[in-house]
A and B are shown apart, each in its own frame.
Chain A
């Protein structure tokens, strides 16, 4: 026996030498464990009754993971979830808007006037902080309270691994890991959570692919934007009976496009900077379990919806303050907001958006949730200042009234709406996700790629669509 190693390097080289001497015998350790486990399991387990549920599971799997029906059923399920969310959220959203944006808002103004508060305190707190919070709540709460429980029910049921199974071949073709289907699905809830979930992918290359493309999963901060804009611009194109369905199809289209982009970008990266083959892995298909409906409702409403809403509110309050200040501090007679919007408008026009939208996306970097409130507040401020319609009252009880602001004051068209939906899918991740990406990759380079790639893609896409539409004289 040799003397003991005194440095890590010595230890490693000694272990290396010993491994050479041992040959294959070292792997016996694990082999013996496997054999022992098999023997013991054989002794203590006995099959007594009928394995009825196995058969039920198999029958379900034959349909849900079938090469023919697997994909259509997946899209159909997403469509049903979206349709329930869109048609179900409309009415409570209207109630909340009446309550928060009409009653409470006016009451607050009356109250502040009653105590003779200075106009700027009243404006800062009521038209800035409160208004942003109220908007976020009425726009976000109802869809989330419907979407999250439905999603969690599918998760508890055991459907997610089947999604991975169905998409595995497509991911392999794109050079990505099959478990990326799971992280992508988690991204539909929250991209930061989706990025952390990539820890289940063991190959660093494939994990990077999953991290970079996670942003193409619409997160909870973006679903409400998609739903609202689709309701206003797409739902309005068809008779009211069909408007929920048309909106659903539009949002579904954007979500599916996101999945397509996930594959496309993974494939592109695999062929260029992240070359390599998809690695093999095994993923268990767990048994289907009847979801515990009441517990799911409770946890997804209390834990998930309210926590996410709280995050949105804490982001919206300071954003509302910033927007109000931007709109009310004048430089040479014109507000900062107007200066910025005027500066950004030509760039916005070039890519089929507008200055307000671009500024809103800068203000909303901390959270996607506040994009819509920011857009509405900026449109109102800038629009009013421009004297378009000084008498516009803030009454957003319904999507129609929101539409009248965007179209009437902001000058939006169907093209603006479509472009906003696409840009909402393809723009930088929120700051929380960006920080998470850095923590998980520890790489400034890949964090930058993951942040900028989607913005560039978004601007190119909306720009291309806009110029084609203009060339065809559609707008």
Chain B
């Protein structure tokens, strides 16, 4: 699969939208190895329904199962909406970006180094607090984030009411309630993802202002070192934070040069990943 550059000027006056007809315009392209314009990552805790969302959009039939750990590999599929083709990447579930097992590492490496144009964090509406931990971590490192508030039907059955609008205000990113199993909200999700990919919708993730002066300085210093050692490495700041935390896997990746391999191969094309730093 090959990425096609999209000129941002051409985005104007596209997507004449009508309510509820997003899915009518959706063309599920399955595993078609053609060219694509935007890469969209599906991240989230285990068993929140990422694969179900993936199937709804790409028309593929990834196996889904009601247990955490069902997906252990990265699965890619294409769909077309409007005039652009989107590469959707289904990732193994992960509770945090501090990966400890191999499936979590696959998810983490893509979120960090795969440079998705949009990262959709699928959260379980019935377990919002714990799911938000990952959402915040993703928002720390990505600008274009959409929250898919999935399993909203289960939350309703449990008598839970969740204000998507207020959640969106708190997080600074769009929040789309969905029940992917029966297709509810998928229309909105397609449209929001498309708007964000094409730049019609801009989000400003509410990042934490946690860096006290000493820690902030240390992160800054290590980040600059990483940037000069590995020009073009995405998310150098995250790598810096992990090194300061003494993450042995990241230390090993730096020592053996594997860090560069993590970046390569995330989008198939090794040259692409380390080209120019501007996103």
Do the two chains bind? yes
**Which residues does chain A contribute within 8 Å of B171, judged by CB atoms?**
40
**Which residues does chain A contribute within 8 Å of B269, judged by CB atoms?**
none
A22→B214 contact, CB < 8 A: yes
Q: Is B83 an interface residue (CB 8 A)?
A: no
- Known contacts being A12-B255, A41-B128, A46-B161, is A25 close to B229, with CB within 8 Å? no
Give the one of B65, B245, B254 with max A CB within 10 A: B65
B65→A1 contact, CB < 8 A: no
Q: How many residues of B contact A (CB 8 A)?
A: 70
- Known contacts being A182-B67, A286-B68, is A37 close to B130, with CB within 8 Å? yes
**Which residues does chain A contribute within 8 Å of B133, judged by CB atoms?**
33-34, 37
Q: How far is the CA of A157 from the CA of B66 in the complex (A)?
A: 6
Q: Is A347 an interface residue (CB 8 A)?
A: no
Binary per-residue interface labels of chain B (160-186) against chain A in the complex, 1 for a CB within 8 Å, 0 otherwise? 111100110011000000000100000
A303→B244 contact, CB < 8 A: no
A38→B129 contact, CB < 8 A: yes
B128→A51 contact, CB < 8 A: no
**How far is the CB of B16 from the nearest CB of chain A, in Å?**
33
Interface residues of B in 241-256 (CB under 8 A from A): 241, 243-246, 251, 254-255
Q: Which of A33, A53, A302 makes the CB contact (< 8 A) with B158? A: A53
Q: How many residues of A contact B (CB 8 A)?
A: 71
**Which residues does chain B contribute within 8 Å of A273, judged by CB atoms?**
none
**Which residues does chain A contribute within 8 Å of B92, judged by CB atoms?**
199
Q: Is B47 an interface residue (CB 8 A)?
A: yes
A303→B159 contact, CB < 8 A: no
Q: Is B218 an interface residue (CB 8 A)?
A: yes
B69→A37 contact, CB < 8 A: no
Q: Is B101 an interface residue (CB 8 A)?
A: yes
Binary per-residue interface labels of chain A (141-169) against chain B in the complex, 1 for a CB within 8 Å, 0 otherwise? 00000000000100111101100000000
Instruction: Give the residue name and chain of the B residue nearest to A282 (CB).
Output: B95
Q: Which of B67, B159, B210, B257 makes the CB contact (< 8 A) with A50? A: B159
Q: Is A289 an interface residue (CB 8 A)?
A: yes
- Known contacts being A22-B244, A155-B67, is A202 close to B159, with CB within 8 Å? no
- Known contacts being A2-B221, A5-B229, A199-B72, is A43 close to B166, with CB within 8 Å? yes
A44→B163 contact, CB < 8 A: yes
B101→A201 contact, CB < 8 A: yes
Binding site for B on A (CB under 8 A): 1-2, 4-12, 14-16, 18-19, 21-22, 25-30, 32-34, 36-38, 40-54, 152, 155-158, 160-161, 179, 182, 196-197, 199-202, 283-284, 286-289, 292, 299, 302-304
**Which residues does chain B contribute within 8 Å of A34, judged by CB atoms?**
133
**Which residues does chain B contribute within 8 Å of A8, judged by CB atoms?**
229, 254-255, 257
Instruction: Give the residue name and chain of the A residue nearest to B128 (CB).
Output: A41
20 additional contacts, CB 8 Å, given A4-B228, A21-B214, A179-B69? A5-B229, A7-B229, A8-B229, A10-B225, A14-B221, A15-B222, A15-B244, A19-B244, A26-B241, A37-B135, A41-B129, A44-B167, A51-B159, A53-B157, A152-B65, A156-B66, A158-B66, A199-B92, A289-B66, A303-B63
A197→B170 contact, CB < 8 A: no
**Which residues does chain B contribute within 8 Å of A304, judged by CB atoms?**
63
Instruction: Give the residue name and chain of the B residue nearest to A200 (CB).
Output: B69
**Which residues does chain A contribute within 8 Å of B203, judged by CB atoms?**
none
Q: How far is the CA of A32 from the CA of B163 in the complex (A)?
A: 23
- Known contacts being A1-B221, A18-B221, A299-B63, is A6 close to B214, with CB within 8 Å? no
Give the one of B46, B68, B69, B243 with max A CB within 10 A: B69
Binary per-residue interface labels of chain B (85-103) against chain A in the complex, 1 for a CB within 8 Å, 0 otherwise? 0000000100010101111
A46→B160 contact, CB < 8 A: yes
**How far is the CB of B91 from the nearest CB of chain A, in Å?**
13
Q: Is B204 an interface residue (CB 8 A)?
A: no
B66→A29 contact, CB < 8 A: no
Q: Can you report 22 A-B residue pairs in the complex whose CB atoms are below 8 A from each other?
A: A2-B221, A11-B225, A14-B222, A14-B225, A26-B245, A28-B215, A37-B130, A40-B167, A43-B170, A44-B167, A46-B161, A49-B158, A52-B157, A53-B154, A53-B157, A160-B66, A161-B67, A199-B101, A202-B101, A284-B68, A299-B61, A303-B63
